[in-house]
Amino acid sequence: MKIFKEKNYDKMSERAAHIIAAEVISNPKCLLGLATGSTPEGLYAKLVEWCDQGIVDFSKVRTVNLDEYKGLPKENDQSYYYFMNDKLFSHVNIDKKNTHLPDGTIEDADAACKKYDEVMEEQGEIAIQLLGLGHNGHIGFNEPSNGFSVGTNCVELQASTIEANKRFFEKEEDVPRFAYTMGIGSIMKAKKILLVANGEGKAEILHSALTGPVTPKVPASILQLHPNVVVVADEAAMKYFK
């Protein structure tokens, strides 16, 4: 595991964006695994900037996203579909037909998960999977549980996740209670994983995920078993690393 400790959020974003840009430059048709949340916003902004400057070309890039709230229409500004378009897809020269997210508007969870697994199967190997980190150690929306998920699954969000994500909604009741997420098994199949974390609020969970026991109670701890993980975090999030 390679760990980059960066001075602040901006430097973290720049480093992570460089890693993704390098992949796209060396493999223009690559499949990127993308993430939402506040952590990757800065790195998406850098990629938009570099695309504008002609440094990175997304015209052949394909993407799969980690997760989506169940029940939010695509035009809802809290859907991850909206987020990805708003932060990245609408500002770079990507072909939107090549971008994929779980479909949160499908009511039947089994059908939604099966459909997304088929999409992932069709797209093939993820060159880099970007991950943020939930306060309880979740990756995608894979919450702490008694076992690691394999394929796409429908998750009931835990109270702490609803609490953490309510800041984006008008009121807590508006936060969806369920989400579709790529499974841990699919995440672990990515060729490379890029985990980003910033701020003191992530310090404890980052430390236990990367140095504590590998357990489904801390889903991100499984990353310790992946052969090609790059962690990019700011100093505040790295507080407990010597």
Q: Which of residues 44-103 bind ligand GLP (CB under 6 A)?
A: 66-67
Give the Cα separation of 49 and 213 in Å (integer): 39
Nearer Cβ to ligand GLP (57/230): 230
- Say if CB 71 and CB 104 are below 8 A apart: yes
165 binds ligand GLP (CB under 6 A): yes
Nearer Cβ to ligand GLP (36/186): 36
Give residues with Cβ within 8 angstroms of 208, minimum separation 6. 137, 218, 221
Is 67 annotated in the active site? Answer: yes
Give residues with Cβ within 8 angstroms of 122, minimum separation 6. none
Which listed residue (132, 137, 144, 219) binds ligand GLP by CB under 6 A? 132
Interface mask toward ligand GLP for 138-157; x: CB under 6 A:
--xx----------------
Burial class (CB in 10 A: 0-12, 13-18, 19+), 171: exposed
Quote the least distance from Cβ 55 to ligand GLP, whole Å: 25
133 binds ligand GLP (CB under 6 A): yes
Annotated active-site residue in 98, 138, 142, 234 = 138
Please work out, in degrees rounded to the nearest 5, the angle formed at the alpha carbon of residue 72 by the alpha carbons of 205 and 16.
Answer: 40
Is 143 annotated in the active site? Answer: yes
CA atoms in the 13 A half-sphere facing the CB of 196:
29
39 binds ligand GLP (CB under 6 A): yes
From 16-24, 115-123, 133-141, 204-212, give the range in contact with ligand GLP by CB under 6 A.
133-141
Q: Amino acid identity, residue 76? A: N
- Residue 133 tokens read as 């980190």
From 13-21, 95-103, 130-138, 146-154, give the range in contact with ligand GLP by CB under 6 A.
130-138
What are the distances in angstroms from CA 188 to CA 101, 142, 156? 18, 13, 21
137 binds ligand GLP (CB under 6 A): no
Annotated active-site residue in 136, 204, 207, 226 = 136
Residues near ligand GLP (CB under 6 A):
35-39, 66-67, 132-134, 140-141, 161, 165
